[in-house]
Amino acid sequence: MARRFEVFWHLFVASGKMFIRDRTAVFFSFFLPLVIMLIFGVLNFGEAAELELGVADETQNSSSQALLVALGQTSGLVIHSGSLTDELAALADGDRAAVLRIPAGWELVPPGSAGYQPLSAYTSQALAGEGQTAVLLVNAVVAQALVSVDSGSPQPLVVVEEVAGRNLGYIDFLVPGILGLTVMQLGVFSVAFGFVQLKQTGTLRRLFATPTSPSYFLAAQVSSRLVIALIQVLILLGVGLSFGVQLVGSVAVVLALAVLGSVVFLGMGFGVAGWAKNENQAAPVANLISLPMMFLSGSFFPREAMPEFLQEVTRFLPLTYLNNALRAVINDGAGLDVIGTDVIGLAIWGVITFVIATRLFRWE
């Protein structure tokens, strides 16, 4: 028994070293997801962009100053004051979402009252959506100010009552998707490229001829990659926490899902490695498997943004099951009872990929 464990341990260590030395596999399975997370985390694409509003105040009275103060306190607006000519030039250059002109003699009075003058707003055809949003915000500010004038004291148009809730940002959506992505990349690319190289050099054939059982070798390969997958998930989860991701669920459940997902994608990797005779054949097949799931399984963007028929097709992909489960655990604190459907889906895919791998795998 001790001798068997010693053989397994040496093969396990050798398998880990083989993976680390395989630069292609390391890049696709670890550094690529890490770079993607760093890019999205630093740029924070999920944050709403602020709208640049130019204001040409031609009256300079108390009403216009009060309006400027109210606009400056409006979330989502950045106010730039200047002459109408300069602000319109900035609008034409795309540096403003809209330009507001406060005409000379303007007073904050309701429409139809004596001395009423409308405000003028200018938008650009190139940024029509942003311009319309900025104008809507200006209208809301003016309407709020009119209510305050009519009542003699500031009165809100809408009474807002806050309830308890969690402010989930884009990074909270992204991190579970990146974890699922790195599990997929490790399972597919590390095996597909690593084993093809071993087949090309004749290492597998020579190993098969030794007294060492091939089952020990395969077990060591799978075990080492499962350990590497867990380490990578922990590292990426730590990076996500540094960007402010809110981890609600259990880390143990996250790691269990990583193991289950790794088994599924390792089966795919063994299938590719068994079919391909060289890296030129393995690379396109591995990319054909991983790239569609990378963009259609909700790793970077919600699947709800896709057409309905595409949502129905992609919800059965193994990475979709994994991403949904990871997101439910990390963001909502879900347990195994809640993610049971996704776990069953991954288990079914594990059986499918195992059958395919055993039929396609060849030692040379």
Give per-residue pLDDT as tens, 53-99: 899 998 888 888 888 888 888 877 889 999 989 988 888 888 888 88
- Return d(Cα 260, Cα 265) in angstroms, integer: 9
Planar angle of CA 83, 85, 88, nearest 5 degrees: 105
Please name the residues in contact with 231: beta carbons below 8 A apart, sequence gap of 6 or more.
none
Asked if residue 161 belongs to a domain, the reply is no
240 compared with 43, residue with greater pLDDT: 240
Same domain membership, residue 281 and residue 197: yes
| Closest CA relative to residue 284, chosen from 322, 203, 27, 292 | 292
Reduced to 3 states, what is the DSSP secondary structure of residue 245? coil
Hey, how many other C-beta atoms are within 10 angstroms of the C-beta on 140? 14
Q: Does residue 102 carry a pLDDT above 50?
A: yes
pLDDT tens-digit readout, 305-357: 788 888 888 999 999 999 999 999 998 888 888 899 999 999 999 999 988 88
Q: Is there a single domain that holds both residue 213 and residue 316?
A: yes
Looking at the structure of the chain, the number of domains it has is 2
Contact between 303 and 311 (Cβ < 8 Å):
yes
61 residue type, one letter: N
- Does a structural domain hold residue 259? yes
**DSSP label at residue 286:** H
Q: Would you place residue 160 in the very low, low, confident or very high pLDDT band (cuts 50, 70, 90)? A: very low
Q: Is the residue at 105 inside a domain?
A: yes
Residue-wise pLDDT for 207-266, tens only, equals 666 666 666 667 777 888 888 889 889 988 888 888 888 888 899 999 999 999 999 998
| Structural domain boundaries, residue 101 | 51-151
Final residue before a domain boundary, out of 102, 118, 151 = 151
Please tell me the number of Cα atoms within 13 Å of 245 on its side-chain side. Answer: 30
